[in-house]
Structure 1
Amino acid sequence: MHLHFTTNMYRETWMYGLPQASSEYVHKLKKFLKVAEDHRVHRGECYIWCPCKMCQNCKNIYDLDVIEEHLICEGFMNGYTCWSQHGELLIDHNTTYIESNYDDIDDSEDDIHDNLDDMLHDIEDNVPDRDYEKFQQLFEDVEKPIDKSLTELLGVIHEMIPESNELPISLYHAKKIMCAMDLEIERIHACSNDCMLYRNEQANLHECITCGRSRYLWKKQTKYNSDVTKNGPPTKLLLYFPIVPRLKRLFANPKDTELLRWHAGKRKTDGKMRHAAGAPQWKNIDHKFKEFGNEIQNLRFGLSADGINSFKHMRSSHNTWTVLLCIYNHLSWLCMKRKYIMMSLLIQGPKQPDNDTDVFLAPLIDDMKELWNSGVEVYDEFKKESFQLYAMIYCTISDFPAYANLFGYSTKGKKGMSSL
């Protein structure tokens, strides 16, 4: 829901016309702080820009009370009637909108959308009048598929900056530049009957050692090339996204690294279970594995697995399975943010793996064994030092059918767990 204001006169009256110690000013200041705090929560950040005359939106502050003190003592910076750094969108020169109902916003909203909003507003004031109408169309395109809006945005910026610049002019060219930063993906062939993965010592086999089915999709193939990559497409493919490189990149961001320490230093500890760190299971692990528990940045993952209909048709029988990892070191509401959920495995269909899911989990389990036994060296950008990172599967999240596939329990029928 957006509240419309045709002018900024109302804000100028109380922000700059009222005594800063008056009860009316403090009352309206509380409303501003509520908007700023809601915007911070929505963006998943741990700080708020301070708009006082001293800080002028150039200093981020973690304590809301400090910002309130600054604005009472110093007052607002000049001309800040459009709260652009605290959740307000400037759509045209005369009308502003405030994002006021954050409770209705889905926390899983794509973070790419948020970043595009930032890019649009950063350059808005520098758009020539002749291009302004075209530029405003980009705000509407933000709600559309990212490819079109980003390509148009790059075209507008390319015309604004000096000639002979090297800015990419399309999403395709931007992706080519960013390819060097891509993380590794392992494409692992699998038996069509879910018997085995062609990896490690079985990497060069042409047939399944259990059922004898061919590795390849070409059924009439009788002679095989010694190079398995030249024998046609596989009957089934597993995509594995190695988690160790992703964890290293996570700790390379000081903001994310600081958030991973939140459960130990900033969590309210009043005996009530407000976070997974307050659960008996967490405390038992710390007591039993003291070395693991002593390092507060050692990670505890929640593993979730389920099938999805990747073609969005109820009549389709094609089933793709995903295995996701969420990090429970984070704040409770950040654990389930798309930004901090790692997709580790993508098991292509057309059929679900059923009780053979453990076959496909093998690459992930190998990495988790390394993270538990020997750990991996990671650079902590927040503390500016390297340390040995350890991790574990803290819990699993699944419905009853997936529970049966993951652990082999009977969840249906006369003796199923669901009937207990």
Structure 2
Amino acid sequence: MDKSWIEERDRFSSKYIAGVESFINFSRENGNTSDNKILCPCNNCRNTIKKSFIEVKRDLHLNGFYLYYRKWIFHGEPNVSHHSSFNRSTHTSVPSQNENPDFGDGGDDPDIDLLDELPEMLGEMRDAEFDEPSSESNMEDFERLLSDVTRELYPGCKQFTLLRFIVKLLHIKVMNKMTDKTMNMILSLLKDVLPEGNILPPSLYRARKLLSGIGLGYTKIDACKYDCALFWKENKNEKFCPICKEPRWKIDDGKERCKNDAK
């Protein structure tokens, strides 16, 4: 299926209009539309809000289609999982914008299914990583850490494991461009508010360190101010966005800073 129309800058070009129609038709035929609503994949909603077909079509013309939503798994396109090939080199970051943290089908909360699969995926990564006898001590450390992050968040908590809660919290941070300072304040508050015996890390640094220990670390990648493209792979050294030509850097006290970070 041709999805190149997603990158069209002119949202009223014949190509873009035809593309929106093809997406709407695809969703009608393949998606879960029992309530005549679908998750809206515009740049503002990013598959977090259900709307009617007319509202989705309007938003796609006003706000554009979310560029990193390439596999329409929330609208009926099969989400083929290849757990047997899961390894550290192909999954190095906490699920996030670029693949939508492309989580499963959870109604208005679309990140539920993949989170439920993470322990199994990490287990397969463990088997691939530590298949040599000399790695026995490393495997024991990994097993211990994996056991910790799959524990319930606090005694009696049935909705969240530590891993599930941290991943969801970091997802919220990314989607809302929250600062590290804000997250540290939230984690500190939650640590005090949650019942006694909770195992929530008291800081963002500790949360990230815990995730990196089980192979879910992250690499920071600069993005265009308007979220057109990532400065990654062939664009790694570019100083201007390859799509909208917006400068990559903002100069603060003689130092270059990504404009997206400066918003």
Task: Verify same fold: TM over 0.5.
Answer: no
Q: Which has the higher strand share?
A: 1
TM-score for the superposition, normalised by structure 2: 0.34
